[in-house]
Structure 1
Amino acid sequence: MLTIAKNLYDYRELMATLAWKNVTLRYKQAYLGIAWAILKPVMLMLIFTLVKSFVGIESGDIPYPILVFAALMPWTFFQESTSEGVTSVVGNTALIKKIYFPREIFPITSVLTKLVELGISFVILAGLMVWYQMMPSIYILWVPLIIAYTILAALTIAFAGAAINVYYRDVGAALPVMLSLLMYISPVIYPLQLVKDKLLVQQAAGEWSDTLYTLYTLNPLAGIIDAFQNVVLRGAPPDLNAMIPGAIMIVILLPLSYLYFKRAESYFADVI
């Protein structure tokens, strides 16, 4: 970890340059520019709210539009930072062939760049909270830790995915589809409380109910999204029981993903 931190510090100017390039290139030729960072979560919120009116998803005391927007914030950040992290090495072929520097800078920078769009989403969320007359509680101080946890979850996939994508470009094409499927087994459209009620309270799956709930929470996004909604909207602390299984997965898989990336790093210039 100390070596990683030292590398990031030594190459901080390069990371800043790459981050600025990522932001400018993403919106340079887009007519609406950075407004797309506003339109995407807002449009998804409106679509999911429309779907909710047909299927009757229970949202408790929190208005559904702001509840689903709060779920979309960490989800969209995870989805887009992971996708760009996986394609970051292949997307910087010219730099890799010209000069050596720690290649993990590419996925890390791609993930951190997405904090700009997340910051815009926070402005929208603040506006929604004013509209619905909701005040944050002291538990909102958990937000930086939840975002940091989301970054680690994204890097877990980005490191291994970026290395594999150098050899098999199908990974970059297949990942958006896989992440879209992951959204439906994450509490984005529906709150985690519905899953708890079905499995832990109603025991809908019989003797397998508790096991299935644990398997469900192995998905780090389950705990992340629920925790974000709790601390921002519900004025409650994160549900650690929902976060621990996913956190254990990240603790195990992130070092393995990084080690795999570093092992493959030596051959990037030859393969690309």
Structure 2
Amino acid sequence: MLQFAANLLRYRELVAIMAWKQIIVRYKQSYLGLAWAVLKPLTLMLVFTLLNSFVNIPSAGIPYQVLSFTALIPWIFFQESTSEGVSSIVSNAQLIRKIYFPREVFPLTGVITKLAEFCINVLVLALLMAWFGVMPAATIVWVPLLLVYTIFASLALALAGAALNVFYRDVGTMLPLLLQLMMYASPVIYPLEVVRNKLVGEQVAGEWSDVLYFLYTLNPLAGIIDAFQRTVLKGQAPDIGAIWPGLVLTAILLPVSYALFKRAEQSFADIV
């Protein structure tokens, strides 16, 4: 990981240039441009709101539209940055064959590119909160740290996924389905409090309840999304009990993922 940090520092200008180029290329021939970044979370928010009108999902007194949009911001950033990172090596095959620089620049650029869309969606959230009269809490200062955590969680999947996708293209094909399933295992539609109350409070799974809750929080997005909602909307610090399992898992997976990526790196130019 020290090598990763050193390469990031050394090639920071290249990462910035490539990220900016990807943003320009993606939206320059689009009539709506970066507005497409807003349409996805807004559309999902409306669908979830319609669902909420039938099942009445608990929202702790916060307008459900605001609660769900706050959950969608980190989730969509994670989903799309991971997808971008996994496909980054294959999609840059011609450049990889022509010149050498550390290949981790490509997955990292894929993740960094999505920061622009993340910032736009934060602005939309601010407008949504103003519309519903929800004041941001002072604990919003936690958000930059949570964003860094989300980036690390995304890279933990993107680095290994990018390497495997070079050798097994099924990885890129399967990824959207796996991420879609992962969304339902994350507190996007419903708050984490619902899961906590059922498993920890009511012990609905009997003696397995605490184990199942622990397994649920191994998903880094469970703690991240809950922390976003707590710090932005509720004026609470992140729930350490919900965050630490996923944080530990990410701390383990990220160096393993990077080691796998570096081991496969020397074969990229021959295969892509």
Taking the aligned partners of 1:2 and 1:259, their CA distance within structure 2 comes to 11
SS in 2 for 1:118: helix
- Is 1:155 matched with 2:143? no
| Bigger mean CA deviation after superposition, 30-39 or 109-118 | 30-39
Higher mean C-alpha displacement, 57-66 vs 155-164: 57-66
- Structure-1 separation of matches of 2:25 and 2:206: 52
Please report how far the alpha carbon of residue 33 of structure 1 lies from its aligned counterpart in structure 2 after TM superposition: 1.5
Q: Does 1:223 align with 2:223?
A: yes
Offset, 1:28: 2.4
Unaligned runs of 5+ in 2: none
| Corresponding residue of 1:65 | 65
Q: Measure, in 1, the Cα distance between the counterparts of 2:130 and 2:175.
A: 36
Residue 246 of structure 1 aligns to a residue whose secondary structure is: helix
Q: Which amino acid aligns with 2:44?
A: L
Give the C-alpha shift of residue 13 in structure 1: 2.1
Alignment of 1:244-259 (within 5 A): 244-259=244-259
TM-score (norm 2): 0.98
Q: Write the deviation string for residues 146-170 of structure 1: whole angstroms up to 9, x where unpaired.
A: 0000000000000000000001111
CA offset digits 1:197-230 (Å, max 9, x no partner): 1001110000110000000000000000000000
Cα distance in 2, alignment partners of residues 249 and 198 from structure 1? 24
In the alignment, what sits opposite 1:23?
23
Q: Report deviation, 1:17.
A: 1.7
SS, match of residue 37 in structure 2: helix
Deviation at 1:131, TM superposition (A): 1.3
Offset at residue 258 of structure 1 (A): 0.3
Aligned-partner SS, 2:85: helix
SS in 2 for 1:88: helix
Identity, % of aligned pairs? 62
| Residue correspondence of structure 1 range 126-205 to structure 2 within 5 A | 126-205=126-205
Per the normalisation by structure 1, the TM-score is 0.98
Aligned residues, how many? 272
Uncovered stretches (5+) of structure 1, i.e. residues with no partner: none
Q: Are 1:32 and 2:27 an aligned pair?
A: no
Aligned equivalents of 2:3, 2:235: Cα separation in 1: 39
Q: How does 1:207-222 map to 2 (within 5 A)?
A: 207-222=207-222
**Quick one: distance in 1 between partners of 2:206 and 2:8?**
49
Q: Which residue of 2 aligns with 1:56?
A: 56
CA RMSD of aligned residues (A): 0.9
Give me the whole-angstrom Cα distance separating, in 2, the residues matched to 1:127 and 1:31. 23
Offset from partner CA, 1:182-210 (integer Å, 9 cap, x none): 00010000000000110011100001100
Distance in 1 (CA, whole Å) between partners of 2:36 and 2:211 is: 40
Deviations 1:104-128 (A, max 9, x none): 0000111011010000001011111
Alpha-carbon distance in structure 2 between the residues aligned to 1:251 and 1:186: 19
Q: Which amino acid aligns with 2:113?
A: T
Q: Distance in 1 between matches of 2:5 and 2:156?
A: 17
After superposing on structure 2, the runs of 4+ consecutive aligned residues of structure 1 that deviate more than 4 Å are: none
Mapped pair 1:122 → 2:122? yes
Deviations 1:39-63 (A, max 9, x none): 1111111111001111221111111
Distance 2:189 2:134 in 1: 21
Letter in 2 for 1:66: V
CA distance in 2, matches of 1:221, 1:14: 29
